[in-house]
Amino acid sequence: MRLSKTSEYALRIFSFMINDDKQVFSAKYLVNNLNIPEKYLRNLLTKLTKFNLIKSIKGRDGGFVFAKNADKITLADIVDAVEGMDKYEKCILGFDYCDEERPCALHHRWHPLKQQILDFLNNTTVADLKDKEGNLRF
């Protein structure tokens, strides 16, 4: 399974910012360092701000900072903010009704894997993205 490009970009923003979590990051600085198209990045920053994951600081030295502690922001919070978690919680074959009582052909094989993915997203925080050696990989 692979996250959408939108979620990948949002996670890239957080994994970059966490390596200097006290710095104020301008949108231009993030564009120049993350290889994300500017319009796309600004849209993501707006969504992440609306979900109170980052906050915008106005003014000449303004930019973006974490709105709360990095160990309180999960990957699921980020994915939910930029695209919603719905597609990661649904049936792998796309059926509206797929559960233990009315499973699709892959339900019993997919459900444990889906649960592991959801657990990973719900239990991994932005703090876990911090590069302990100080190496940025962008």
Condensed to tens digits (0 to 9), the pLDDT of residues 70-107 reads: 999 999 999 999 999 988 888 889 898 888 899 999 99
With respect to residue 53, please indicate whether it lies within any of the assigned structural domains: yes
CB 23 within 8 A of CB 57: no
Domains contained in the chain, number = 1
Q: Given its phi and psi angles, is residue 56 left (phi above 0), alpha (psi -120 to 50 degrees) or beta?
A: beta
With respect to residue 136, please indicate whether it lies within any of the assigned structural domains: no
What is the reported pLDDT for 86? Answer: 86
For residue 112, what is the domain's CATH number?
1.10.10.10
With respect to residue 137, please indicate whether it lies within any of the assigned structural domains: no
pLDDT above 80 (res 3):
yes
**What is the span of the domain harbouring residue 64?**
5-128
First CA to last CA distance, the chain: 22
Which residue is listed with tokens 């980052």?
Answer: 54
How far is CA 25 from each of CA 1, 9, 45, 77, 107, rounded to the nearest angstrom?
31, 16, 11, 20, 43
Reading the block at residue 119, the tokens are 């657990």
Tens digits of per-residue pLDDT, 44-78?
999 999 999 999 999 888 899 999 999 999 999 99
With respect to residue 45, please indicate whether it lies within any of the assigned structural domains: yes
**Across residues 14-39, what is the average pLDDT?**
91
With respect to residue 135, please indicate whether it lies within any of the assigned structural domains: no
